[in-house]
């Protein structure tokens, strides 16, 4: 009888373990993301500063107050070099119980003719919190040793308008025409007006024959942080962010898709800027634009927006 009781108890235990095993589930547990706490964003109080000791305030702001210190490590890139062209802190510490802290970026004077130099600021690491998306901001240091024309920037170029219906009608006149809808967007990236009277625009073939595609008319002055928009032709229709609008004086910018070189000279034939189309896509069917505007690298317009171009305006369609 004792042997039977032992066997019975063993059978009960086995049955119990089997029942537990049968209750197991193979469902995948949800992935729980760690709470990064407060998220950091960056901002500047200036787009341009003077080379002669100009300053800008760089602020790191939290999405919510933290109970601990949040340390923001910064990364600097662009044409300007830290401790040579400007000085600034590498870290901003936001004290516990506060929402933000600020550091100063100070331009350093020199005598080199460098033109505008950009400072691009991003978040390297955040201790005690996280980055709010991808934070990339920047400003420009205005050179006071080079002519004002060195502050003229190419911000957007359309050399291959889309031929799908009116998708490529960049000049807004209701007609698609490859040579007419091509455009250049030039920005006065400084705090002073730039007189561009007599400036000349060439593609590669026009430069070799010294026959400009466009000669900017006398009296053309680009105001600070404003745009000059030059279309190949047509009847430009729209506000274009308040930009100054011109059409090619030759009737054709002649910008080739498969390799070309844009050259802009001043009224006495000094080269102001060049833009090499060759490394870019042969048939983008849209413009190439700086992102962020004025300080960023060139990218195809639809890489960051649903638009194929934004003549006379920032990449998001807002005025300069």
Can you give the pLDDT at residue 36?
62
Q: How far from 140 is each of 7, 20, 114, 146, 153, CA to CA, in Å?
A: 87, 68, 12, 14, 11
Q: Which CATH class is domain 39-145?
A: mainly beta
The pTM (predicted TM-score) of the whole model is 0.72
pLDDT of 66-108, one tens digit each? 999 999 999 999 999 999 999 999 999 999 999 999 999 999 9
CATH topology match: 39-145 vs 149-303: yes
Can you give the pLDDT at residue 89?
97
pLDDT of 236-252, one tens digit each? 999 999 999 999 999 99
Can you give the pLDDT at residue 296?
86
Q: Is the pLDDT of residue 188 over 70?
A: yes
Q: Is the pLDDT of residue 215 over 90?
A: yes
In this prediction, residues 130-144 reach a mean pLDDT of 93
For the domain bounded by 149-303, which CATH number is listed? 2.60.40.1260
Q: In the chain, what are the domain boundaries? A: 39-145, 149-303
Can you give the pLDDT at residue 5?
47
Residue with tokens 């026009």: 206
pLDDT, averaged across the chain: 89
Q: Is the pLDDT of residue 33 over 50?
A: no
Can you give the pLDDT at residue 281?
80
């Amino acid at each position: 009888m004792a042997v039977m009781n032992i066997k019975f108890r063993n059978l009960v235990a086995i049955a119990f373990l089997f029942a537990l095993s049968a209750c197991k589930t193979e469902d995948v547990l949800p992935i729980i993301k760690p709470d990064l706490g407060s998220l950091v964003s960056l901002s500047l109080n200036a787009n341009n500063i003077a080379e002669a000791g100009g300053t800008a305030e760089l602020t790191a702001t939290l999405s919510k107050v933290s109970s601990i210190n949040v340390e923001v490590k910064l990364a600097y890139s662009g044409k300007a070099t830290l401790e040579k062209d400007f000085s600034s802190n590498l870290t901003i510490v936001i004290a516990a119980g506060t929402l933000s802290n600020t550091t100063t970026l100070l331009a350093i004077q020199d005598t080199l003719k460098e033109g505008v130099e950009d400072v691009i600021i991003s978040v390297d690491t955040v201790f005690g919190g996280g980055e709010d998306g991808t934070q990339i901001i920047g400003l420009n240091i205005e050179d006071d040793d080079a002519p004002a024309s060195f502050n003229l920037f190419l911000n957007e170029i359309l050399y291959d308008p889309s031929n799908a219906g009116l998708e490529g009608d960049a000049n807004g006149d209701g007609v698609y025409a490859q040579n007419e809808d091509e455009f250049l967007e030039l920005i006065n990236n400084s705090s002073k007006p730039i007189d561009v009277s007599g400036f000349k625009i060439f593609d590669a073939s026009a430069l070799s024959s010294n026959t400009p595609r466009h000669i900017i008319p006398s009296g053309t002055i680009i105001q600070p942080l404003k745009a000059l928009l030059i279309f190949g032709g047509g009847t430009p229709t729209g506000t274009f962010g308040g930009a100054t609008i011109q059409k090619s004086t030759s009737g054709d910018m002649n910008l080739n898709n498969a390799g070309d070189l844009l050259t802009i000279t001043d009224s006495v034939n000094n080269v102001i800027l060049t833009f090499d189309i060759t490394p870019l896509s042969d048939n983008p069917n849209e413009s190439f634009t700086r992102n962020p505007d004025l300080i960023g690298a060139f990218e195809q317009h639809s890489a960051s927006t649903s638009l194929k171009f934004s003549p006379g305006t920032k990449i998001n369609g807002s005025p300069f």
